[in-house]
């Protein structure tokens, strides 16, 4: 049985909490795409954590946590994050890393920074984690699979030398930056080999056996549908697929085994990075929503950047649920809206006098004006409520209106940052 938890919007929807919660009833949790460029915030008995590479099941002793072949694997970040968990009292988690995963190299981070510098005011809003250069190399067949680290050292060194020849030309003539030292890169990689050895294996074969034993598998997506390379707001996307469907590729799982795809959605909209954002609000209105939102406000778990804020966008969310193949929705941080007398929901995009009820390509989004439906607020603190029927009538109406607009049932309603701040619908 395979479940997937994915984002339907721009990312930062609260997937970490849902994964942490559903990990209680799972045997295996898998990260199957992305890298250290996003963070999943989790609050539990051990404290508050922002996980970047680690799957969100690392806090349970009964789960096996896997980094699949589709992940951009930053070795140093992986080891640092693991050690940080243990130092804070978390028992050493059961971890497996696919030997087919590619290594995110130090030069990927450098090139990410250099390119954003070169673009200046035309930047894409990268987290500068090396993700785009990493995937560019992987698809150009100049990447370094993790299996190379455990193979012939001479072959690995020659591969690094060949890569550096090309990259040093760019560093000299495009970026005017210091050259790469292939021997230093090789030595750094080799230093990681023994610390990594206990975790690296053929995870595809492991999962084949797990499925034969009817293990409960949970896929954990990073970012959201609107950041997908193919179906997101291009070019303001990440460089891998953020969709549940990519789990078959990035984890090595058969698609017919997927049973439930949970799309996580905020009760309002937020966005880190550049690009069109039709329902965006500004000034004091945005500051109020940002400061009330989430646990400690709406700031990126990886970058610390203040998130752009907006009203709930039913057009974008309906699209996100569709491309994710959502069977149900988890609506998060509804408790953050209790300070408002009125709430708006974007139900259409007006483009050149025509109202669109579908999510158009990026160029049209820049021209779009939001069409809003205004609903009454509830002016009540919702934390601590565990039954939907006990919510104020206005809060119930807000949830049901969203459900009607996106066409997917809301199964989970999160009304606080802690693991048990949840209403099961």
Given 262, 286, 312, which residue is the final one in a domain?
Answer: 262
Q: Cβ(107)–Cβ(180) under 8 Å?
A: yes
Q: Cβ(327)–Cβ(288) under 8 Å?
A: no
Given 175, 196, 217, which residue is the final one in a domain?
Answer: 196
Per the residue annotation, which of 12, 20, 148, 228 is the catalytic one?
12
Read off the pTM: 0.90
Task: Report d(CA 406, CA 329) in Å as an integer.
Answer: 9
User: In degrees rounded to 5, what are phi and psi of residue 147?
Assistant: -60, -25
278 and 403, same structural domain? yes
pLDDT in tens, 255-313: 999 999 999 999 999 988 889 999 999 999 998 899 887 666 677 655 667 889 999 99
Angle at 382 between CA 379 and CA 387, to 5 degrees: 130
Give residue 296's pLDDT: 61
Q: Which long-range contacts (CB under 8 A, 24 or more apart) does 180-187 make?
A: 180/107, 182/157, 183/157, 185/105, 185/106, 185/107, 185/160, 186/153, 186/156, 186/157, 186/160
Give residue 302's pLDDT: 58
CA quadruple 335, 336, 340, 344: dihedral sign: negative
406 and 351, same structural domain? yes
Task: Report d(CA 33, CA 249) in Å as an integer.
Answer: 9
Give residue 41's pLDDT: 75
Q: What is the CATH number of the domain that holds 400?
A: 3.90.170.10
Task: Report d(CA 422, CA 414) in Å as an integer.
Answer: 4
69 and 177, same structural domain? no
Q: What is the CATH number of the domain that holds 116?
A: 1.10.300.10
Give residue 222's pLDDT: 87
137 is catalytic: no
User: In degrees rounded to 5, what are phi and psi of residue 14?
Assistant: 105, 25
Q: What is the CATH number of the domain that holds 54?
A: 3.40.440.10
Given 196, 215, 248, which residue is the final one in a domain?
Answer: 196
Give residue 36's pLDDT: 81
269 and 234, same structural domain? no
Torsion on CA atoms 32, 34, 39, 45, rounded to nearest 10: 20
Give residue 38's pLDDT: 66
pLDDT in tens, 149-201: 999 999 999 999 999 999 999 999 999 999 999 999 999 999 999 999 999 99
398 and 355, same structural domain? yes
362 and 397, same structural domain? yes
43 and 30, same structural domain? yes
Indicate the number of domains in the chain. Answer: 3
Task: Report d(CA 173, CA 305) in Å as an integer.
Answer: 32
What's the token pair of residue 372? Answer: 């809003």
User: In degrees rounded to 5, what are phi and psi of residue 280?
Assistant: -65, 145
SS3 of the chain: CEEEEEECCCCCCCHHHHHHHHHHHCCEEEECCECCCCCEEEEECCEEEEECCCCCCCCCCCCEEEECCCEEECHHHHHHHHHHHHHCCCCCCEEEEECCCEECCHHHHHHHHHHHHHHHHHCCCCCCCCHHHHHHHHHCCCCCEHHHHHCCHHHHHHHHHHHHHHHHHHHHHHHCCCCCCHHHHHHHHHHHHHHHHHHEECHHHHHHHHHHCCCCEEEEEEEEHHHCCCCCCCCCCCCCCCCHHHHHHHCCCCHHHEEEEEEEEECCEEECCCCCCCCEECHHHHHHHHHHCCCCCCECCCCCCECEEECEEHHHHHHHHHHHCCCEEEEECHHHHCCCCEEEEEEEEEECCEEECCCCCHHHHHHCEEEEEEEECCCCCCCCCCCHHHCCHHHHHHHHHHHHHHCCCEEEEECCCCCCCEEEC
CA quadruple 270, 126, 21, 205: dihedral sign: positive
145 and 27, same structural domain? no
323 and 279, same structural domain? yes
377 and 290, same structural domain? yes
138 and 181, same structural domain? yes
Domain that holds residue 170: 102-196
Per the residue annotation, which of 20, 27, 40, 148 is the catalytic one?
40
322 is catalytic: no
210 and 189, same structural domain? no
From first to last of its 425 residues, the chain has per-residue pLDDT tens of 899 999 999 988 988 888 888 988 999 999 999 888 766 777 777 888 888 899 988 999 899 999 999 999 999 999 999 999 999 989 999 999 999 999 999 999 999 888 888 876 766 666 778 899 999 999 999 999 999 999 999 999 999 999 999 999 999 999 999 999 999 999 999 999 999 999 999 999 999 999 999 999 999 998 999 999 999 999 889 888 999 999 999 999 999 999 999 999 999 999 888 899 999 999 999 988 998 876 666 776 556 678 899 999 999 999 999 999 999 999 999 999 999 999 999 999 999 999 999 999 888 999 999 999 999 999 999 988 999 999 999 999 999 999 999 999 999 999 988 878 899 98
Q: Cβ(9)–Cβ(225) under 8 Å?
A: yes
How far is C-alpha 48 from the chain's CA centre?
18
């Amino acid at each position: 049985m395979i479940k997937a938890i994915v984002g339907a919007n721009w990312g930062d929807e609260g997937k970490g909490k849902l994964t942490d919660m559903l990990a209680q009833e799972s045997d295996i949790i898998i990260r199957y795409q992305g890298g250290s460029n996003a963070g999943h915030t989790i609050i539990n008995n051990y404290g508050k954590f922002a996980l970047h590479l680690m799957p969100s099941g690392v806090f349970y002793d009964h789960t096996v946590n896997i980094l699949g072949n589709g992940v951009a694997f930053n070795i140093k970040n992986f080891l640092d994050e693991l050690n940080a968990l243990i130092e804070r009292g978390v028992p050493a988690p059961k971890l497996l890393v696919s030997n087919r995963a590619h290594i995110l190299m130090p030069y990927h981070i450098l090139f990410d920074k250099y390119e954003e510098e070169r673009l200046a005011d035309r930047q894409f809003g990268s987290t500068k984690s090396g993700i785009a250069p990493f995937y560019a190399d992987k698809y150009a067949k100049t990447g370094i699979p993790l299996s190379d680290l455990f193979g012939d050292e001479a072959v690995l060194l020659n591969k690094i030398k060949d890569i550096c020849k090309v990259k040093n030309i760019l560093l000299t003539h495009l970026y005017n930056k210091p050259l790469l030292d292939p021997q230093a890169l090789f030595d750094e990689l080799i230093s990681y080999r023994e610390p990594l050895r206990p975790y690296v294996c053929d995870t595809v074969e492991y999962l084949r056996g797990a499925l034969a034993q009817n293990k409960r598998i949970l896929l954990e997506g990073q970012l959201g549908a609107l950041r997908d390379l193919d179906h997101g707001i291009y070019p303001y996307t990440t460089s891998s697929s953020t969709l549940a469907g990519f789990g078959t590729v990035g984890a090595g799982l058969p698609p017919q085994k997927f049973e439930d795809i949970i799309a996580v959605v905020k009760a309002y909209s937020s966005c880190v990075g550049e690009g069109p954002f039709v329902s965006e609000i500004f000034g004091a209105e945005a500051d109020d929503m940002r400061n009330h939102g989430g646990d400690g406000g709406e700031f990126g778990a990886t970058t610390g950047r203040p998130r752009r804020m907006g009203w709930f966008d039913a057009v974008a969310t309906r699209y996100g649920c569709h491309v994710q193949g959502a069977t149900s929705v988890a609506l998060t941080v509804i408790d953050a809206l209790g300070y408002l007398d009125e709430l708006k929901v974007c139900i259409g995009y007006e483009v050149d006098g025509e109202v669109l009820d579908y999510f158009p390509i990026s160029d049209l989004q820049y021209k779009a004006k939001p069409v809003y439906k205004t609903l009454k607020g509830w002016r009540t603190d919702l934390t601590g409520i565990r039954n939907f029927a006990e919510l104020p009538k206005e809060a119930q109406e807000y949830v049901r209106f969203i459900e009607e607009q996106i066409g997917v049932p809301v199964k989970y309603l999160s009304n606080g940052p802690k693991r048990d701040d949840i209403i099961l619908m």
